[in-house]
Amino acid sequence: MVEMRIPFGTVSITEKSRELVQDCLDKGRISSGRLVREFEEKFADLIGSKEAVAVSSGTDADMLALAVLHDLGAKRGDEIIVPALSFVATGNAVLHAGFTPVFVDVERETLNIDPTKIESVITERTKAIMVVHLMGKPVAMDEIKEIAEKYNLYVIEDAAEAYGAVYKGKNIGTLGNFSAFSLYVAHVITTGEGGIVLTDSEQYAEILRSLRSHGRACKCKQCVSNITSGYCEKRFSDKERGDIRFHFERVGYSCKMNELEAALGLGTLELYDEIVNKRHTNLIMMIERFQQFSEYLWTYQEEDYERIGPHAFPFVVKENVPFTRDELMLFLEKNAIDARTLFSSIPTQCGGYEFLGYKIGDFPNAEYIGRNGIHIGVHQDVNEADIDWFVETVEKFLKKAKTER
């Protein structure tokens, strides 16, 4: 196995994280509590949202944002519109929240849901559009919001890959009714495993807090994190206290964040600007240097009304070239560059979705990218010399491919 010169992700563990983790261990305070609440407040401030609810993964964040819709009138089996191309978690979250995903193809130029294809799939059962800012590229939110307003739909942003992304002057993660971020290790802010839901609605946040803790009745900010060891003085009288622990108002989940995870997150939050800026510089450098390969390989561009969130560098092998995606990936890997495929068309290239009855050809762009896309890391430990190495490796590969065919 080659040791990777450009691994896909990295983790920045700060001194503050170490101190906080040690403090938790020393005090034996490990399950969700004060640090989780502090992390939520700081994360909400960072992105510009009123409320934040931390959970165990980005998938749980997507799922809980969707599950709130049951309190807002949605019925089991109602439909949620999602892009066909994403990490499979987006589709899984819809199903696990009790809804039916209705997939829409993506645009090749942006990798994101094609807004012109949304209206034709809206039915009486459609409740929300869940957009994904794939590879940090902001979705065309003006168009999405116009459709949502016209048909009275909720908008949920899957912002798992969109830290630091800006659309027309506004931070991605503040543009829908909810947004969901992943805090997994490959992401800008990490808690190891984790996720967080943002919303401006206090009512939705209370439902989210209940949902992450089995649907418990006590939802107020002050006590919910420690609900298993306490009771809600705000809502329940002395007489009722005995039962509150097992009082459930809705069908919930068990996906709280713990103190050790929050401790890691609080440390990295301090490096947020530094990490985002370094990653963005790397991403733009890669986009620019890739223009020389445009006969063979395509990548996206940053428009002047946006800032791409620097999650990773995506590129797609063009049609009629003298090599395959898999040959290029293998060459990159042999040269110590950790290359990943650019996901799959969820409904037609992920086996678990066969039961929905979609067939190959239904989502030509998502399927093309699923067969021909690659992404590699742009993280804070990648430097200019690594980018030179990457570009030279691609150059070498193309030269070889051209002479061998």
Ligand X SMILES: Cc1ncc(COP(=O)(O)O)c(C=O)c1O
Q: Does 160 contact ligand X by CB under 6 A? A: yes
Q: How far is the CB of 156 from ligand X (least distance, A)?
A: 11
77: DSSP letter: T
293: DSSP letter: G
Q: Does 59 contact ligand X by CB under 6 A? A: yes
Would you call 187 a catalytic residue per the annotation? yes
For residues 119 to 158, the per-residue mask of contacts with ligand X, x marking binding by CB under 6 A and - elsewhere, is -------------x-------------------------x
Q: What gap in Å lies between CA 162 and CA 145, rounded to an integer?
A: 18
Stretch near ligand X under the rule CB under 6 A, chosen from 83-91, 196-204, 251-259, 368-376: 83-91
189: DSSP letter: S
Report how many helices (DSSP H) and strands (DSSP E) the chain contains, helices first: 12, 16
Q: Please, are residues 110 and 135 in contact by the beta-carbon 8 Å criterion?
A: no
Beta-carbon contacts of 134 under 8 Å, excluding residues fewer than 6 positions away, are 83, 85, 86, 106, 111, 112, 161, 314, 343
Q: Does 58 contact ligand X by CB under 6 A? A: yes
Tell which one of 161, 206, 261, 367 touches ligand X (CB under 6 A). 161
Residue count, binding to ligand X (CB under 6 A)? 15
Q: What gap in Å lies between CA 224 and CA 228, rounded to an integer?
A: 8
Query: With respect to ligand X, which residue has the nearer C-beta, 59 or 177?
Result: 59
Q: Please, are residues 59 and 105 in contact by the beta-carbon 8 Å criterion?
A: no
Cα distances from 230 to residues 211, 216, 236, 316, in angstroms, run 17, 12, 11, 53
Taking CB atoms, the residue at the shortest distance from ligand X is 58
Tell which one of 24, 47, 54, 89 touches ligand X (CB under 6 A). 89
Q: Which is the catalytic residue, given 70, 187, 280, 379?
A: 187
Q: How far is the CB of 183 from ligand X (least distance, A)?
A: 6
Closest CA to 194 of 367, 88, 36: 36
Residue 349 has which token pair? 């290239």
Residue 387 has which token pair? 């980018």
Q: Does 78 contact ligand X by CB under 6 A? A: no
For residues 194 to 213, the per-residue mask of contacts with ligand X, x marking binding by CB under 6 A and - elsewhere, is -x------------------
Tell which one of 90, 199, 268, 345 touches ligand X (CB under 6 A). 90
Rule CB under 6 A: which residues touch ligand X? Answer: 57-59, 62, 86-87, 89-90, 132, 158, 160-161, 182, 184, 195
Q: Which residues are catalytic?
A: 187
